[in-house]
Amino acid sequence: MLDETRKFIVIIILLFITGCSTDHKPGKAAYPPPPSTTIKETGTDVLRQGHIRMFTCSAWSPDGSRIACGGADRRIRIWDVKSRRLMYTLKGMNDDPWGLIWTPDGYIIAACLDGTIHFWKYPSGVNDLTFQAHDDSILSIALKPGGNEITTASQDGTIKLWEPGNKKPLLVLAHKGEEALSVALTKDYIAGGFNDGKIIIRTLTGKNETRHIDTGSPVVFLAAEQAGNYFASVDEKGKITIWEIKNGNKIAELTGPAPPPGGLAFSSSGKYLAAVSQTDGVIIWRKNDAGEFIKDVSNTTAPGDKKFLGLYSVSFSPSGDELAVVGRRRAIRILSLKDNKWREIPAFQSEIYAVDFLNDQKHVISSGGNRRIDICDIKDMKPVSSCIYDRADAVGALLVLPDKNGPDGKVASFVSGDISGNVCLWEGAPQKGFSPVKEVNIGETEIWKLRLSPDKKSVIAACEDGYIRILDLPGLENSREIKAHSDSVVNVVFHPGGDRLSSSSCDNTIHIYSWPEMHLLRVLKGHTYDVYGLAFSGDGKKLYSVSGDRTLREWDIEAGKLIKTYHALGDCGMSIIESPAELQLYSIISWDGIQRFWNPSAPEKWRKTLIGRDLLCQAYSDDGSVLVVGDAGGKLNLMDGRTGELKGEISLP
């Protein structure tokens, strides 16, 4: 929960091997935002911006055939690199994984922002062990080369060395109460980076010798060369320094990517060093015969290349022949260092992010991670046409507009919004297909939701950068933009009276504005995670919200107060909408794969339908007889809008 009078704290993301992220308190250095969630400190709220379908960390399998990625949706997904097929999804974490390791003996280990460590056995997917390793967020995790020991660095100010299966640390390091931001581990040494710019190196064999290096700036990343001769550090300004680990001598300084830094890793042979940035993409250095690191121009991406913006993690395959980069984009990009070619795993191509009924009520449109907008016949339960969309990795928002008259009869139209800030107006017919007639870009921001104003003259866009943008029809002119939240705006809904607009955000708050003036009237606080779903009551006196904190909350909008909290959702609540057919009947969907009907007049009685996959979006037909729910498996689930009975499903290609 964020207080407007408090200073915001922003954390930088960590990455594989070093996996470092830092939470900065007032007076300390601030970093741009990594992916979405909010973690709780004593007396302070820690803010991270972004999207639930973003990656925070990655790790290769020991044989290099598979890659695991942890995300801001509290899941770890494993892909087969060759076939690009999603093989497994690991769940069970209560907070985001912030570092990931795949051990030689087949364990996938995740370090999370709630201070816990999770051990899964691969390929069974069994969680063998979970325990509270730290009192605060774990910001970095590293694996001992050739072994199974791990080390973790935490906001609680400690660095700990662990033996697999043992909940008691072998070693604990601390430094004047400073936050431990990063850690690196070799066979003989452990190195920790702290918020005051100190690097502490401790021997693990022989005498317990300790050395201190003063870098002068918070050490946000550390990466060790596997042979154990040297390690690299990155400070908050993006400066990369290579150090001799035995004596702490500086070997070289490299001109790294412009801040904010995103990640750093050595190849297994130590021949390559790679860094990623949220703005400058990928930079690779190659070590020559003289031991100097020279920038590899052929493999360095061009600054500003949209495919490589917002990168947070880089990891080399065990052979050192390939590297993978992940971040805000919904894709894993892999570079072969043998032929200098990139290839892509579209990580969420099957997910459906938006669905809406066309005005004929016989067809629905849907979009998601497959770079396509599909039009489906709900009676025949099959797609009838598609719009190929190659402007961005995903289309996250759809809005059906009123039909208009054309020379050949009614012309249907809708607006789409993608993750690169493109808003596109489409016209056509379900059977013949739709074509884009107007496109505008409203900035390098993801569009989460589109709504039509009560007078049907404007489109309102909820944007990842915290803005609400108002586009006037028919030309989609960007007439106004309002900085609405300190984090992503994920939803907007209009009051039944048409004179107010409510927005929800990843800053855990709900705002109520006057419409069309957009004067802030109320700020509703209480959720402890991103707020995704909003719905007004039919009489306009109450507002209902669902959130990643797995609760449904009921609000008195005139008093601006929370009425009641319902702990009824098994996972992240994604959407709540009111039935057009039955007053005070609401459909709620969540990641636990369950669609729920809820009536405020009988709030403890829930009707549930198990679908089984992460549920992401939903829409009612005008008469309320049909409810369509889109899921993470690429299916549109057709349900009876009153009973919740599953009538069938449409599998999208």
Q: What are the pLDDT digits (tens) for 261-270?
A: 778 999 999 9
- Asked if residues 57 and 313 have their Cβ atoms less than 8 Å apart, the reply is yes
More confident residue, 136 or 652: 136
More confident residue, 205 or 7: 205
Mean pLDDT computed over 184-201: 94
Annotate 570-591 with b (16+ C-beta within 10 A) or e (fewer). Answer: ebbbbbbbbbeeeeebbbbbbb
Q: What is the pLDDT of residue 177?
A: 84
Residue 368 makes CB contacts below 8 A (sequence gap 6+) with 348, 349, 350, 351, 352, 353, 354, 394, 395, 396, 616, 630, 634
- Strand order of the β-sheet with 510-514 is 489-494, 500-505, 510-514, 520-524
- Asked if residues 459 and 415 have their Cβ atoms less than 8 Å apart, the reply is yes
* CA-wise closest residue to 363 among 327, 310, 403: 403
For residue 529, the SS3 value is coil
Residue 26 pLDDT > 80: no
pTM of this prediction? 0.77
Q: What is the pLDDT of residue 260?
A: 63
Tokens of 180: 């431990």
| Chain-centre distance for alpha carbon 49 | 9
Radius of gyration of the chain (CA): 25
Instruction: Give me the residue label for tokens 């990594």.
Output: 34
Bridge partners for 505 per DSSP: 489
Which stretches does DSSP call E strand in 230-271? 230-235, 240-244, 250-254, 261-266
Amino acid at 50: G
Q: What is the pLDDT of residue 492?
A: 98
Whole-angstrom distance, CA of residue 86 vs CA of residue 622: 36
- Asked if residues 534 and 502 have their Cβ atoms less than 8 Å apart, the reply is yes
More confident residue, 613 or 465: 465
Q: What is the pLDDT of residue 16?
A: 31
What is the rounded average pLDDT for all residues in the chain? 86
Residue 128 pLDDT > 60: yes
- Percent of residues, the chain, with pLDDT higher than 70: 90
Whole-angstrom distance, CA of residue 192 vs CA of residue 211: 11
What pLDDT digit, counting tens, does each position of 105-120 carry? 999 999 999 999 999 9
Whole-angstrom distance, CA of residue 144 vs CA of residue 226: 9
DSSP letter assigned to residue 7: P
Among 280-294, 304-318, 360-374, the least confident range = 304-318
- Asked if residues 467 and 489 have their Cβ atoms less than 8 Å apart, the reply is yes
Mean pLDDT computed over 321-349: 87
Tokens of 161: 């060395």
Residue 435 pLDDT > 80: yes
Annotate 298-315 with b (16+ C-beta within 10 A) or e (fewer). Answer: ebbbeeeeeebbbbbbbb
Residue 584 pLDDT > 90: no
* CA-wise closest residue to 153 among 127, 133, 124: 133
Whole-angstrom distance, CA of residue 594 vs CA of residue 613: 8
Residue 530 makes CB contacts below 8 A (sequence gap 6+) with 36, 37, 38, 52, 487, 488, 490, 505, 506, 508, 547, 548
For residue 308, the SS3 value is helix
Whole-angstrom distance, CA of residue 509 vs CA of residue 505: 6
344-to-72, 81, 298, 614 alpha-carbon distances in Å: 20, 9, 18, 24
Whole-angstrom distance, CA of residue 620 vs CA of residue 214: 60
Q: What is the pLDDT of residue 52?
A: 59
Residue 149 pLDDT > 60: yes
Residue 528 makes CB contacts below 8 A (sequence gap 6+) with 1, 38, 40, 508, 547, 549
Whole-angstrom distance, CA of residue 97 vs CA of residue 74: 6
pLDDT-based confidence at 22, cuts 50/70/90? very low
Q: What is the pLDDT of residue 641?
A: 93
pLDDT-based confidence at 259, cuts 50/70/90? low
Strand 531-536 relative to strand 520-524: parallel, antiparallel, unpaired? Answer: unpaired
Winning range, highest mean pLDDT, from 86-90, 175-179, 432-436, 540-544:
540-544
Residue 50 pLDDT > 70: no
pLDDT-based confidence at 367, cuts 50/70/90? very high
Mean pLDDT computed over 118-143: 92
Measured on CA atoms in the order 38, 371, 376, 649, is the torsion positive or negative?
Answer: negative
User: What is the number of residues in the chain?
Assistant: 653
Checking 295-299 for CB contacts under 8 A at 24+ apart, the result is 295/255, 296/272, 298/340, 299/335, 299/337, 299/340
Among 116-130, 405-419, 637-651, the least confident range = 405-419
167-to-117, 118, 245 alpha-carbon distances in Å: 10, 11, 28
pLDDT-based confidence at 4, cuts 50/70/90? very low
